[in-house]
Every structure is written in C-alpha cells, then in structure tokens.
Structure 1
Amino acid sequence: MQLYTFIDWFFTIGSIIIAILLGIYVNGAACLLGLFFYLIYPFIIEFCYNLLSVKQEISITNMPEIPIIYHDNYNITACGIEKQHPFDSCKYRNVYRQIRQKIKAQHFTPQMLSRGTFLYLGMSKWYLLKICYSAYISTLIELHVFFLPGVFLRSFLLDSMLLATSGSVYGAKLALEKGWAINLSGGYQHASLNRGGGFCIYPDITLVVNYLKKYCNLKKITIIDLDAHQGNGYERDFLNDSSVYIIDFYNSYIYPRDRQAEKAIKCFKHIDKRTTDEQYIEILQRDLEVNLKDDMQFIIYNAGTDIMAGDPLGNCSISASGIKKRDELVFKCARHKKIPILMLLSGGYQKENTFAIGESILQLIT
C-alpha cells in the first residue's frame, strides 16, 4: 500500500508538471496531453495493482490481552477538510484514550490487508477504479471536494477507512478466538461491494461476512444493526442470501430510505424521537430473544450512537444511559447463546457520543 501511494503521488504530480511545461514551452493545446495522462494513469496502476496483489492469510501472531482493535491512523485529518462534515472523524482516538485511562492491557493494532484479499472477499474492481477520481468520491462523502486531486483524498481520507475495514476483518478473527471483539471504527453500513454512499466507502460489514464464509466456513451469520440509519449497503449485498440474518432498528424517515434493500431485513423496528429508552430496550430484548437462534454462529453488531438525543442526523432521543443498556443487552444475549460477537462503532455525529461510547465499552470489558 505504501508503494501504491508513492506511485499514485508520483504520477499525479508528474502529469501536472508535464501539462504545465507543455503549456508553457509548446502551446496551450499540448498541455492537454498531460491532463489526459492525469486522467488515464489510474487505469494503469489499478490494473497492475490488481494483477500483482495476492490474497494473504489473515493471521494474528501476537494475540492481544483484550480484543480491542485500534490504530492511530483510523482518525481522519485532511488539512481541515474533514471538519466540513458533521461526522467526528477523530472520535476513535478519543474513545481509545478514554478506555486506556482505566484499561492498560495490550490491544490489537491492525495492518492494511492486501488488495488481493479485498478482491477475494468480493470487492468490485470497477468500483475501486471509480474511487480513484475525486469527482466520484465527492458524491460518496457528501463534500464538494471534486477539485482536489484524487490521490490527496485517497491518502488522507480513504486510506483511514480502508485500514479500519481491515481492522473489522481482523476483529472477526479475534472474536472467533476470544468470543468477542470491538473495532474502534468501522461499521460502514451504506457501502456495498460495488458502490458507496453516506460517508461510507468500503463495505467492511459485507467483507467480514465473506471472510467468515470463505476463510472460516461459517454458514449462519447474524447482523444486528442498531445505528439510526438503515444499513442498505450490506443489505443489498445479501438480498438473496438466506445464510445472513439481518436485524435492523432504524429511523425509516431519514436517509437512505432504500426500499429495495429493505427486502433483506428479517427483523425491522422503526425508531424516532418518540421512542423512549424503556420502549427501545423492551422491544430490543424481546426481538433478540425471538430472533437469536442457538444455531447462529457469529454476530456482527453495528453499534451506531446516532440514536442519541441531540444527534443532528439520527433524529432519535435515546440517552447515554440507554446506549449502555443497549450494548450490555446485545453482549449478554451473545454470551448467553455462546455466539462470538464483533462490535463496530458506526455512526454518531456529536461530541457527546464519544464519552458515551467509551463508558459503554468500559462496562462491557471490566
């Protein structure tokens, strides 16, 4: 990945310099040759990268004391551009520091998985090519950054998400070993194998499911999605897959309102500002008891905190205390059924969410 990034920057800068020199020393029309090269080189390096990269074995040589997955590069700092989006792109560091104040045990630091591994797990080559261009990336992250070089956005934004996606896959392996794991990022629920949206680029939930199927030979996997938004990305990936059982509680009045993806949901509950903590926990407990079967082999828990009161995008009213009770309930059900569980942080768009996440995780692991 470091070599790929270097080549990416090299050809971007090189093509721009060529365009400028041709414009100055030949004529204005000649500079189009450099601009053409600027547009065409991603096809070349993507083809070579896909061709040369191989699938890797996903192994953990040094098992951590606690299955918490975190890397400093999860946090997105793109020269302040990230602040134009309501998402708190550095909440992962703050949650980690909050946990470390009370838990000193060693956590797991993930490495970037190879391109060959992502392709083996189902990523679309065409989609990976499209996100080389900032005009397309802009539509996915909902920021007007189409004027920036694609390599800039990939280096300072997409690579952080790709690393977090790798962390989710490693988290699945840790959960199988330890019984549970928590990735302090991930949960990109609006991304599918061939498209993104809603500030979600890489479909880590789908990739985790495919990892469990292809590497671990699991047959029955459950996704419990309690983010305020519908998980339409992975739902589209598993529309016709009966081996994936989807439980999704969300506010159906807000983004994305994907009616086609809804067909993949086995258990749906609508929540909004009128839903109290007591109602939410009561409904959740009842539905988990009914829908979590003994033969289920793995749980992916998408633990978005945008259901908290005051969140600008979730439009719900669950308290921080309600978040703690929710997470505790999901983990208790998983442990009672002896089903390995992987928790992903997913959405949450206010500073108060960070403290609630940290407190909830601390209650789960202490």
Structure 2
Amino acid sequence: MQLYTFIDWFFTIGSLGLAILLGVYVNGAACLLGVFLYFIYPFMMEFSYNLLSVREEIFIRNMPEIPIVYDESYNITACGIEKWHPFDSCKYGNVYRQIRQKVKASHFTPQMLSRGTFLYLGMSKWYLLKMCYSAYASTLIELPVFFLPGAFLRSCLLDSMLLATSGSIYAAKLALEKGWAINLSGGYHHASLNRGGGFCIYPDITLVVNYLKRCCNLKKIVIVDLDAHQGNGYERDFLHDSSVYIIDFYNSYIYPGDHLAEKAISCFEHVDKDTSDQQYIKTLQKDLETHLKDDMEFLIYNAGTDIMAGDPLGHCCISPAGIKRRDEVVFKWAQHKKIPFLMLLSGGYQKENTFAIGESILQLIT
C-alpha cells in the first residue's frame, strides 16, 4: 500500500506539473497531454494493482489480551477539511483513550489487507476505480472536495476507512477465537460491494460476512443493526441470500429510504423521537428472543449511537443510559446463545456520543 501511495502521488504531481510546463513553454493545447495523463493514470494504476496484488491469509500472530481492534490511523485529519463534516472523525481515538484510562490490557492493531483479499471477498474493481476520482468520492462523503487530487483524498480519508474495514475483518477473526470482539470503527452499512453513500465507502459488513462464509465455512450469520439509519448497503448485497438474517431498527422517515433493500430485512422495527428507552429495550429483547435461533453461527452488531437524543441526523431520543442498556442486551443474548459476537461503532454525529460509547464498552469488557 505504501508503494501504491508513493506512485499515486508521483503520477499526480508529475502529470499536473507536465501540464503546467507544456502550457507555459509550448502552448495551451499541449498542456492537454498532461491533463490527459492526470485522468488516465488511475486506470493503469488500478489495472496493475489488481493484477499484481494477491489474496493473503488472515492470521492473528500476537493474540491481544482483550479483543479490541484499533489503530490511530482510524482517525481522519485531512488538513482541517474534516471539520466541515457533521461526523466526529476523531471519535475513535477519543473512545480508545477513554477505555485505556480504566483498561490497560493490550489491544489488537490491524494491518491493511491486500487488494487481492478485498477482491476475493467481492469488492467491485469498477467501484474501486471510480474511487480514484474526487468528483465521484465527494458525492459519497458529502463534502465539496471534487477539486482535490484523488491521491490527497485517498491518503487523508479513504485509506483510514480502508484500514478500519480491514480492522472489521480482523475483529471477526478475533471473535471466532475469543468469543467476541469490538472494532473501534467500521459499521459502514450504507456501502455495498459496488456502491457507497451516506459517508460510507467500503462495505465492511458485507466483507466480514463473505470472509466468514468463504474462509471460515460458516453458514448462518445474523446482523443486528441498531443504527438510526437503514443498513441498505449490505442489505442490497444479501437480497437473495437467506443464510444472512437481518434485524434492523431504524427511523424510516430519514435517509436512505431504500425500499428495494428493505426486502432483505427479516425483522424491522421503526424508531423515532416518540420511542422511549423502555419501549426500545422491550422491543429489542422480544425480537432477539424470537429471532436469534440456536443454529446461528455468528452475530454482527452494528452499534450506531445516532439514536441518541440530540443527534442531528438520527432524529431519535434514546438516552445514554438507553444506549448502554441496549449494548448490554445484545451482548448478553449473544453470550446466552453462545454465538461469536462482533461489535462495530457505525454512526453517531455529536461529540456527546463518544462518552456514551466508551462507558458502554467498558461495561461489556470489565
């Protein structure tokens, strides 16, 4: 990945520099050669990268004391651009530091998985190519950064999300070994194998499911998605896969309103500002009791905190205590059913969420 990034920057700067030099010393028409190279080199880069990158086996060489997955590079600091966005792009580090104040045990630091591994797990080559262009990527992250070179956007933003996606897959491996694991990022539930949206670029939930099925021979997987928004990305990927059972609680009045993806949902519950903590927990317990079957082999928990009162995008009113109780209920049901459990942080768009997430995780691991 480091070599790919270096070559990416080299061709970006070189082609733009060539365009300027030809425009100054030859003529305006000649500078089009540099512009052409600027737009065409990602095709050559992606073709070479896809051709040369091989699938790698996923090993946990140094087993951590606690199965929490985190890397400082999860946090996005793009020269201040990230401050234009409603998402707290450094919440992962803040949650990690809050946990470390009380838990000193070692965690797991993931590495970036190879392109060959992502392709083996189903990622679309065409989609990855489109992500080389800021004009397309900016529509997914909903920031007006279309004027920036693709190399800058990848280095400052997309690589962090790709590393977090790798972290989700490593965390799934850890959960199989330890019984549970938490990735302090991920949960990009609006992304599918060939498209993104809603701040979600890489489909870590789909990739985890495909990893468990293709590499670990699991047959029955349940996704419990308690983010305030519909998990339409992975739902589109599993529209015709009955081995993936989906429980999705969300506010159906807000983004994305994907009616096609709704057909993949096995159990849906609407949540909004009128849903109290007590109603939410009671419904959750009832649905888990009804739908968590003994033959299910793995549980992916998308633990979005944008259902918390005051969140500008979730439009729900669950309290921090309700978040804590919610996570405890899902965790205990997984333990009761003896199902390996993977927790992903997903959405949450106010700084108050960070403390609630940290306190909830601490109750689960201490």
Equivalent position of 2:270 in the other structure? 270
- Displacement of 1:49: 0.2
Equivalent position of 1:298 in the other structure? 298
**Is residue 2:87 matched to residue 1:49?**
no
Cα deviation digits, residues 319-341 of structure 1 (max 9, x gap): 00000000000000000000000
Cα deviation digits, residues 16-59 of structure 1 (max 9, x gap): 01000100111011000000000000000100000000000000
Partners of 1:46 and 1:313 in 2: CA distance: 35
What SS does the aligned partner of 1:171 have?
helix
Equivalent position of 1:344 in the other structure? 344
Partners of 1:2 and 1:132 in 2: CA distance: 16
**Aligned letter for 1:225?**
D
Equivalent position of 1:21 in the other structure? 21
What SS does the aligned partner of 1:247 have?
strand
State percent identity of aligned pairs.
84
Equivalent position of 2:161 in the other structure? 161
Partners of 1:337 and 1:144 in 2: CA distance: 46
Cα deviation digits, residues 245-301 of structure 1 (max 9, x gap): 000000000000000000000000000000000000000000000000000000000
Equivalent position of 2:132 in the other structure? 132
Structure 1 unaligned blocks of 5 or more: none
- Displacement of 1:210: 0.2
**Aligned letter for 2:14?**
G
**Aligned letter for 1:294?**
D
What SS does the aligned partner of 1:139 have?
helix
Cα deviation digits, residues 216-247 of structure 1 (max 9, x gap): 00000000000000000000000000000000
- Displacement of 1:160: 0.2
What SS does the aligned partner of 2:223 have?
strand
Q: What does 1:155-194 correspond to in 2, within 5 Å?
A: 155-194=155-194
Q: What does 1:80-95 correspond to in 2, within 5 Å?
A: 80-95=80-95
Q: Where does structure 1 differ by over 4 angstroms across 4 or more consecutive aligned residues?
A: none
**Is residue 2:228 matched to residue 1:228?**
yes
Q: What does 1:23-42 correspond to in 2, within 5 Å?
A: 23-42=23-42
Structure 2 unaligned blocks of 5 or more: none
What SS does the aligned partner of 2:129 have?
helix
Partners of 2:85 and 2:272 in 1: CA distance: 23
What SS does the aligned partner of 1:343 have?
strand
**Aligned letter for 1:153?**
L
What SS does the aligned partner of 2:249 have?
strand
What SS does the aligned partner of 2:246 have?
strand
Partners of 1:183 and 1:69 in 2: CA distance: 5
Cα deviation digits, residues 139-194 of structure 1 (max 9, x gap): 00011110111110000000000000000000000000000000000000000000
Q: What does 1:291-330 correspond to in 2, within 5 Å?
A: 291-330=291-330
Equivalent position of 2:289 in the other structure? 289
**Is residue 2:40 matched to residue 1:75?**
no
Equivalent position of 2:237 in the other structure? 237
- Displacement of 1:89: 0.2
| TM-score of the superposed pair, with normalisation by structure 2 | 1.00
| TM-score of the superposed pair, with normalisation by structure 1 | 1.00
Partners of 2:145 and 2:63 in 1: CA distance: 40
Partners of 1:2 and 1:214 in 2: CA distance: 28
- Alignment root-mean-square deviation, CA: 0.3
- Displacement of 1:122: 0.1
**Aligned letter for 1:305?**
T
What SS does the aligned partner of 1:255 have?
coil
What SS does the aligned partner of 1:245 have?
strand
- Displacement of 1:82: 0.7
Partners of 1:260 and 1:252 in 2: CA distance: 13
**Aligned letter for 1:237?**
D
**Aligned letter for 2:353?**
N
Cα deviation digits, residues 185-223 of structure 1 (max 9, x gap): 000000000000001000000000000001100000000
Aligned residue pairs, count: 366
What SS does the aligned partner of 1:122 have?
coil
Partners of 1:35 and 1:183 in 2: CA distance: 41
